Structures are given as C-alpha cells and as structure tokens.
Amino acid sequence: MNPKIDEKIKEEHEVKIKGKFKIYLGDELYTKGKNRWTRFFSSSLLEMVISNHKQVYSRPDPAWMDFWTSGLSYSPTGLYTARAGNDTSTPTTPDMTDLVSKIDIAPNTQNVAIFKEPDYSKYMSRYVFTWSPGTIPPQTVGEFGVYLWLDDDSWTSPAENPNYGKLAIVPGPEGYDIAVVIPLNNPSPRLGARIASADGDFDPINYTSEEAIRLEWYVTIRF
C-alpha cells in the first residue's frame, strides 16, 4: 500500500541529526554504534538558532578581549575534548552533566573535519580523539563522553524573545573592527554526548594500557 501523501512529505523533508561512534584498540575496531545526547547539546543548538542580541557595545571590557583573542569563539565546536570513564551500570539520561566515573585524562591528540554531499543532502563532522599507549592506566573502561562548548540552559521555559548574547565591536587585524557575539549563558566545555556500556553500546573494555584507544565521533545532519 502506498503511504499517505502527508506521511510521504514528512518522510522526504524531515531533518535527522544522528551521533555515531567507533572505538579502536590499537588499529583494531572494537565496536561502533550510536551515542546518547544530553540536554546541553539540544539547548545550545536552539539558542544558536534564535540569535537575538541584547545590545551593541563599542568596545568590550579587557576580560572579554582576552576571551576573544584566545580564539575561543562561541560555537559547539569552538572547544572540544573527550574523556573515558569506569562506570558500567548507569544508563545515560538527558540530564547528565558529566560521566558517572570520569577518568580525567585528556586525549594526546584530537582533530575534527567536516564533510558534505554534492547534492547538499548530508552534512557530517568527524571528531577523532586518541589516547596513546600508557596514557590511561590499566582499568575497566565503560563509558566515554564528548565535551563541547555548550550553554548551561539556565533559562526558564517558556522564554519569550530571549537574548542570546551581546553584540560587541572589537579591534581586528590591520586596524579593522570586527563584530563578535558575547554569549550570556556562560558557555564552557560541557557533556554533549555519552557513549556507555550500560546502554548496550559496547562491552566494557578490560584495558591493559598496552594499546592506544581511539574514539571517532560523528555528527550527521541528513535531509
């Protein structure tokens, strides 16, 4: 039976956002699957869409100048990192703000790349986080978290005509001024996605520290 016309239109035009991962031990693929999102990821995407600005400043104070010149421009990919953790029994919930039992050791290397299809039907980002052999001591690894430059979602619902940030004019290169948005909601590295053995995403890793751990994380937007 042919689908109803409204169902067909919905199927053809809805936008899907997916987060997927691959975990490698050394050069061998250990597992792959889908991540679970947190509220910080969702709210930050929404706040970027509204893009309302409170007011215009001719020059920001020195603290915000340091913020800008440090290169930490505000976007979910402006600052990113990942961490592993020990927990093997706690399922992921949207309100999680951190890993349950975080191993607070940063990856030795990390990078991000973006891709698009020629017909504009698919956009994808790929993050690669690598812990070299010996970086994480021997232990059980049961969770991974990806941390992005996200807002704290402190606004109260419904928020009508909310202000997303301050628009500031700051000195740019070669004597030119540039406009930057200074966010109001205290963006910082926050848990955006969790990959957990407790969700059935992978079997806990009995890690011996002899091999590198590589986490590849993909965000795909498909039309």
**How would residue 76 be classed by pLDDT, with cut points 50, 70 and 90?**
very low
Local structure of 21: helix, strand or coil: strand
> Is residue 218 included in any domain, yes or no?
yes
Among candidate residues 47, 37, 79, the one with its CA nearest the CA of residue 183: 47
- Quote the number of domains for the chain: 1
> Is residue 191 included in any domain, yes or no?
yes
Peptide bond preceding 204 in cis form (omega within 30 of 0): no
> Is residue 65 included in any domain, yes or no?
no
More confidently predicted of 156 and 98: 98
> Is residue 5 included in any domain, yes or no?
no
> Is residue 204 included in any domain, yes or no?
yes
> Is residue 203 included in any domain, yes or no?
yes
**How would residue 170 be classed by pLDDT, with cut points 50, 70 and 90?**
low
Residues of the domain holding 212: 16-51+72-166+185-222
Query: What's the pLDDT score for residue 72?
Result: 38
Query: What's the pLDDT score for residue 166?
Result: 64
> Is residue 43 included in any domain, yes or no?
yes
pTM value is 0.78
**How would residue 69 be classed by pLDDT, with cut points 50, 70 and 90?**
very low
Other Cβ atoms closer than 10 A to 210: 10
Among 51-55, 124-128, 136-140, which stretch is predicted with the lowest mean pLDDT? Answer: 51-55
Amino acid making up residue 7: E
> Is residue 61 included in any domain, yes or no?
no
